[in-house]
Amino acid sequence: MRDPLRVVVLMGGANAEREVSLKTGATVVRELSRRHRIRPVEILATGAWRCAEGIVHEGLDPSPDAWFEGEGQHPVRALDALLGAGVDVVFNALHGPLCEDGTIQGFFRTVGVPLTGPDVIPAAVTMDKRLTKLGLAAAGVGTPRFFWIPAAKLRSEPVRWDELLEQESRRVPLPWVLKPNRLGSSVGVAILRTPSDVLERAQEAIDAWPAEAAGDDLLVEEAIQGRELTCGVLETDGAPRALPPIEIRPRTSDFFDYHAKYTPGASEEVCPAPLTPSEDERVRATAVEVHRLFGCAPLSRTDMFLTGNGDCLVLEVNTLPGMTSTSLVPLAASRAGIPLADLFSSLVEHALARAFVPAGVASPR
């Protein structure tokens, strides 16, 4: 059996999804510390990094409340200290801007440190909902009709919602779903059902976006009627494997919003989804097709609607899905007979196998 690895678990982040990331990170630490030497690291809202002073179960209390203290330090200095202490691999438990969009992936690629999750380009493209939808459409994969307003136009002049209704509503019928183009976890999403809703509430919805979305584009897509489904795909050995699909039934809100995603009991998540054999095959095949299209190894989760006529319409693909106690991929993995510790270990092994050290950069291991 291989010796325990030195694994840094990176969590937090300077964005609206940091609390979800901290929960994901705590779950990863709990599971992986049974097999490896784990050092938690938090990215603060300021962008500074705080490194736990020790290894979980080797002098460091396993409670997340005891891991971090102080104001943190510059990422480069923090990484230098981590490399000096010894790092075999970094587990990316981050979510949101600067964390899922290729930025952190490029940072670790540059210094030659193995990092779990997607590579730079898949991370960047799938974080951009508009680019994702353009890629889906080009490949013939169904996706809701949409239009977008670039950030420069969105912020430089008042949006003429009356003109947009006249120009776009025939091609993109109401209700409209408004969302920031590069945020996740349904942060900033609003559903506007009537022209009056658009005229009265659209600008208010945009003004309520979190600070990190201030320079983001607006994506507007048609709201789809159908069954809301999600399907994970695991690819740690070169062969994409669809996990059991999940049907999502929000209980406390009109759609699968932030509260419904991360509040226990706020949604019913049925896994495996009650589908006919042909529906199940169609959903899984769609998820694998999307996963392959964007090169999402080692893991993705594709969100979609199954319409009344049997079409799968893809909303988006997530390459760093949440791993909290209420998250969807852990649920699907358990139904497939994959314990969380095994799932996380397979992601670590994939990162090591993919490791790339740039010319002239010494390996940190």
- The pLDDT score that the predictor gives to residue 62 is 84
In CATH terms, 6-117+348-354 corresponds, of 3.40.50.20, 1.10.10.520, 1.25.40.80, 3.40.50.720, to: 3.40.50.20
Please tell me the distance from the alpha carbon of residue 156 to that of residue 161, in angstroms, as a whole number: 15
pLDDT digits (tens, 9 = 90+) for 253-277: 565 554 455 455 667 899 999 999 9
Domains in the chain: boundaries? 6-117+348-354, 125-129+225-319, 145-222
Average pLDDT over the chain, rounded to an integer: 90
pLDDT digits (tens, 9 = 90+) for 97-129: 889 999 999 999 999 999 999 999 999 999 999
Q: How confident is the model at residue 210 (pLDDT cuts 50, 70, 90)?
A: confident
What's the pTM value of the predicted model, to 2 decimals?
0.90
The H helix count followed by the E strand count for the chain is 12, 16
Instruction: Please say whether the dihedral angle defined by the alpha carbons of residues 9, 13, 17 and 19, taken in this order, is positive or negative.
Output: positive
Q: Which fold has domain 125-129+225-319?
A: D-amino Acid Aminotransferase; Chain A, domain 1 (3.30.470)
pLDDT digits (tens, 9 = 90+) for 43-90: 999 999 999 998 998 888 888 888 998 889 999 999 999 999 999 999
Q: Which of 56-70, 193-207, 346-360 has the highest mean pLDDT?
A: 193-207
- The pLDDT score that the predictor gives to residue 185 is 60
- In CATH, the number for domain 145-222 is 3.30.1490.20
> Residue range 316-333: average pLDDT?
91
